[in-house]
Each structure stands twice: as C-alpha cells, then as structure tokens.
Amino acid sequence: MINRLCVIGVGLIGGSLALALKKAGYVNKVVGAGRNIEHLEKAKSLGIIDQCETDLGKAVSHADMVFIAVPLGAMAGVFNKIEPFLHKHTIVTDAGSAKHCVVEDATRELGVKVNQFIPGHPIAGTEKSGAIAAFDSLYQARRVIITPLEENSRDDINKVRAMWKAAGADVDEMGARHHDLVLAGTSHLPHILAFSLVDCLNQVDDVDEIFRFAAGGFRDFTRIASSDPVMWRDICLSNGEAVLAMMNRFENQLTTLKAAIENNDADALLEIFSRAKKARDGFCM
Amino acid sequence: MINRLCVIGVGLIGGSLALALKKAGYVNKVVGAGRNIEHLEKAKSLGIIDQCETDLGKAVSHADMVFIAVPLGAMAGVFNKIEPFLHKHTIVTDAGSAKHCVVEDATRELGVKVNQFIPGHPIAGTEKSGAIAAFDSLYQARRVIITPLEENSRDDINKVRAMWKAAGADVDEMGARHHDLVLAGTSHLPHILAFSLVDCLNQVDDVDEIFRFAAGGFRDFTRIASSDPVMWRDICLSNGEAVLAMMNRFENQLTTLKAAIENNDADALLEIFSRAKKARDGFCM
C-alpha cells in the first residue's frame, strides 16, 4: 500500500500506473508532476491524478513512492531537481526503456541518495501517447524488469515489486546491461525497422498509391511507427551501442537474403523463411 | 452469377472466395481441385467446396470460372495442365501475389487461350494457411487488383470484377509491372523484414529470454513471419527485381539511421521518426 505516489510525467505510462493502483486500492493519493500545468489539469479531470504540481521539489517532498515516466533524455534533469527534496524513506523508480543510461544519470545526480533509486522498465505500452491514452489495465499480465543497484536494499526492491504486482504485472530482475541488449532486440530494433520502412516508402514517387494498397499485415507491421518520436530518439541515443549491434546483425541477415534472391536460391529462401516461421509460431502461441 | 466455379488450390485464399460467393448466393456449384485428395475432402466436409477433383483437366472442363490460388511457383504447371480442357466460354483468373511472372507463365502455357486469363490479386490474407483457415468475410472491404492483358475482352474483365464485388471486395485495375512494384513495397518488403527479424533474433544466444520479453508491439510486428514459407519463397523468386530494388532502398534508409545514431545526431533522428509517424498516422486513420 502506498500512501502518497508522485508520478513525474503523466502520460500513457505514468497515467496508466496511477489508474491501475487506484483501481487496485493500492494508493491513497496521487500527485502528478510535470512542466505543463494544462496537461496536468487534464489528467486530474480524467481522474488519473488527485493533485497537480509543476514544482518537482514540492511534488516529491512528502511522497512515499516516486515514479519517473519521462523520455530518457529528460531523466538527468529530473534526478537533479528532486535530489535535494527526497526524504530518507522515499523510494524512486522509473519507466525508462533503456537502463544503463538511467543508472548513470541517477548515480551522477542523486549522489549518496542513489540507494533510494530502483531502476525499472514496464514492458508495456501502445503506439499512443499522453494522459488521454492511459488506461488501468495496461500492465495486466505484462512484464516489468527491475535492474537493481548494489546500493539498493532488498526491502525497497520488494516495495517496487509489490507496486507492480498490484498493477497486475509480473516482475523480473536482471542486470542493466543485459536488459539493454534484450530490449534492443525485441523492442528497439523492431521500432527502428517500422519507422524506417514507413519513411522509406514515404519517399517513393507513388506514395499515395503505395499506402492505398497496404493491407492488414502492413498496418500491424507499421503500427509501432506511430510511437512518440522524442521517446525513440532518446532510446536510440541512450542505448546506441546495443541498438547498433542489433542493427548490424539485422543488416547481415538482409545481405544473406538478398544474395539468395539474386542467385535464385530457392532452397536457401525456403530454409530462412521456414526457420523464422517455426521460431515465431513457437514463441507466440 | 457463376454456375460452376472451379477453385484450384483450396487453401485460405481459394477457400475464402468459395465461402464468400456461396454466402452471397453468387455461385451454384464449387469444384475444388488439387493434388491432395485428403485436403480436398476436408474442405468438402467444411462446406467450402461441393465436389473434389484431383484431375485438373476434369475439374476445369465444364467450369464457367476457374480461380487459381496456388503458390507462384506452381502456376505454370497448372496453366499447362488445364489448357487443353478449357472451353471457349471459361474465364480463368488467379490470386498470385506478383503479376508479371504469372502473365509470362500464362502467355507461354495457354497460347491463344491466354485471352481467357484475367490476372488478379486480392490484397487480403492472414498469417494462417490451409482450407481450415478460410472464412467468408476475408475479402470484405479489401482491395483486389486486376492487371488485364491486351488480349482480354472487357466483358470477361467485368465478370471477374463482378465476382470480386460479390465477395465484398473493391476492384482496381493497373499494369502488371506497376502492381509488382507497389506490392514489393507494401507487402513483400514488410514480410521479408519480419522473417529476417525473427531469424536474426533466433540466432542470438539468449533466444528464449529475448522472446520471453517480447511485448505486444513485437507480436504485431512479427505476425506476418508466421506466413507460408513456400508462398514467400516463390514471391521472392518471382518478383525478385522489384523486391531487390525495395530492399536496396530500405538498406540505404538503415545506413542513414545508423550514421545518425553513431554521430549522436539527435536532430536527424527526431526528423526521421517524426516524418515516419506523420506518414503512418496519415494513411492509417
């Protein structure tokens, strides 16, 4: 049970956690914090938060739990602003899609108080953004990865785990570096491919016709290209090393496939497609 | 109204057309043809076809309309087998995902009877295959592209158009080469990217863990990688030129994006992602 939850960045991710915890009766009061008072008032009118606060210091000063759900590029600034106002008992966690960079920011900006920061990443979301897109079941049966620091106490880690369980999620723990590599493959690379495909077709002469004849598969495939550009810019910059490694792997794969097409190599094509289908059918039952 | 429809290849595509036309009351009798009598009997038991025929000559000899829904690599063989048995009034059409190659096959195998062949392509499907996956609403509000030959009569073309309209589809006409380029972008390239992504991740050491942390976006993105490998092998071989051209465009796009990440070029990344999001939001309202 959380008495006072402070959500910094009341968008899809932050707003949905507030709604889920309210529905579960797991929180008494939610303070929404951010730079834009109109966005916060809107979130309040939607019943997502109970109080609006544009001063981050005030927002966190009496919080039991602080949830930071801002783009990765804004994390360091948030840590810097809240550090002087963090009470000893306050736990801070986040929703950053890459973890090593957030750990670096937190270590630098929070100083000795970094022990109060439990890095986390809910593997959930939609291509929509903003408080208006938030809903209370976003985290139901989804996974949350926590990448604990050596400085964290098991008690604090367990409080973050319990919060996510109350929101309906399953919680795993792993190292930050490992998290970043896994997510580069399953999330960051697919988003880059979807953005790139749409941008690539958008530069073809008959672009209107191309999109007119796009079928359902194309819509599914490119849905994630409607995601927030700022968020994805920051992910590419913050997890560049792992993302580039995955992109290189993928390019090698395309090169192999191109060679098979150029050489009319029916066996090689069938082998690649069969292997992929088998893998995909296997993990998405 | 079609008195006797012959469907060669009673899978998702052929079976769904039979079901749609039956539901619309647009066909009297459906003869299902193929090599595997067990598959045909199964389709008959599902009410998709009324009669099974493994002899293609017999299957088409009294048909008013023949619908060929086999992988592209099997088209030439089908044309070759049915040519001697085609009555003058019989119209033949197909569902091949690439059209120039099918026109070449038909021209070579059908000889003077090529005027009876109206090439077509319903832009519809799911990642599933086989008669068991067929359903009567597959073509509702979907597009069908007809790529008429100079030899076709307008009357015959209109009969194929009317059949697809009865199945619920909207019909467009364009040249075969143009069709192949448009589809290489909207369908063939996305499938290649999805197959390649899954195969790429499947070769990472922690493959189980990678797939375990895949979220909804990944499932949507890779759904088409569950498609029929034989069908996609044939598409790559039959539409190789256009597919390779699109793959080269895509690779250039990836190269630009990689450079932006390597150079920490936040502005370039934001520009690419914003442009893609705008295009995607625009065409998928």
When pLDDT is cut at 50, 70 and 90, the band that residue B284 belongs to is low
Same domain? For B85 and B167 the reply is yes
- pLDDT tens, A59-107? 999 999 999 999 999 999 999 999 999 999 999 999 999 999 999 999 9
CA angle A54, A60, A63 (to 5 degrees): 135
Per-residue model confidence as pLDDT tens digits over A13-61: 999 999 999 999 999 999 999 999 999 999 999 999 999 999 999 999 9
Average pLDDT along chain B: 94
Residue A133 Cα, gap to closest chain B Cα (Å): 16
Contact of A37 with chain B, judged by CB distance below 8 Å, is answered with no
Please state whether beta strands B27-33 and B51-53 pair in parallel, antiparallel, or not at all (unpaired). parallel
Same domain for B125 and B85: yes
What does the block give as tokens for B158? 């209109």
What is the C-alpha separation between A54 and A271, in angstroms, rounded?
Answer: 57
- Residue-range definition of the domain harbouring residue A109: 2-174
Same domain, B143 and B195: no
Per the prediction, chain A carries an average pLDDT of 94
Nearest CA in chain A to B124: A215
Helices B100-110 & B176-183 angle (0-180, nearest 10): 140
Residues B39, B160, single domain; the answer is yes
Q: Which of A56, A57, A63 is nearest to A27 (CA)?
A: A63
Which helix (H) or strand (E) covers residue B77, if one does? helix B75-82
**Closest B-chain CA to A182:** B210
Scanning A206-245 for CB atoms below 8 A from B yields 206-207, 209-230, 232-233, 236-237, 240, 243-244
Per-residue pLDDT of A261-271, as tens digits, reads: 999 999 999 99
Residues of A in Cβ contact (< 8 Å) with B259: none
Instruction: Return the pLDDT at A284.
Output: 65
Among B126, B146, B174, identify where a domain stops: B174
Q: Are residues A57 and A117 in the same domain?
A: yes
Residues B137 and B58 in one domain: yes
End-to-end Cα, chain B, rounded Å: 35
Single residue among A174, A197, A227 that ends a domain in this structure = A174
Residues B70 and B189 reside in one and the same domain? no
**Chain A residues touching B194 at Cβ < 8 A:** 221, 276
As a whole number of angstroms, the distance between CA A28 and CA A136 comes to 16
Task: Look at phi and psi of residue A141 and say left if phi exceeds 0, alpha if psi is from -120 to 50, else beta.
Answer: left
Q: How many other CB atoms are found less than 10 A from the CB of residue A4?
A: 19
DSSP for residue A89 = T
| Contacting residues for B198 by C-beta, under 8 A, at least 6 apart | A276, A279, A280, B222, B225
Q: Quick one: closest CA in B to A252, which residue?
A: B200
What residue type is assigned to position A171 of the chain? V
Amino acid at A99: K
Please give the DSSP secondary-structure letter assigned to residue A186: I
- Give residue A126's pLDDT: 81
Q: Which residue has the tokens 């090698």?
A: A252
Structure tokens at A36: 């834009």
B122 and B261 housed in the same domain: no
- Amino acid, res. B169: A
Asked if A218 lies within 8 A of B272 by C-beta distance, the reply is no
Look at the block and give the residue holding tokens 């495909």.
A197
Give ∠ CA A201-A202-A205 in degrees, rounded to 5.
85
A164/A17 Cα distance (integer angstroms):
8
What's A102's DSSP letter?
H
Give me the CATH number covering residue B142. Answer: 3.40.50.720
Set of chain A residues whose Cβ sits within 8 Å of the Cβ of B214: 186-187, 283-284
Question: ipTM value of the model?
Answer: 0.85
Q: Which residue of B has its CA nearest to A249?
A: B200
Which of B174, B206, B228 is the last residue in one of the domains? B174
- Residue among A221, A264, A279 whose CB faces B198 most closely: A279
Same structural domain, A7 and A121: yes
| CB-CB contact of B225 with A164 (8 Å) | no
Are the beta carbons of B6 and B40 closer than 8 angstroms?
A: no
B204 and B256 share one domain: yes
Is pLDDT larger for residue A215 or for residue A76? A76
- Tell if the CB–CB gap between A258 and B276 is shorter than 8 Å: no
- Classified as helix, coil or strand, B53 is strand
How many domains does one find in chain A? Answer: 2
Cβ within 8 Å, pair B213-A183: yes
**CB-side exposure of B50: number of CA atoms within 13 Å?**
12
pLDDT of residue B123: 93
What's the CATH number where B213 sits? 1.10.3660.10
**Do B23 and B35 lie in a common domain?**
yes
Same-domain check for residues A226 and A272: yes
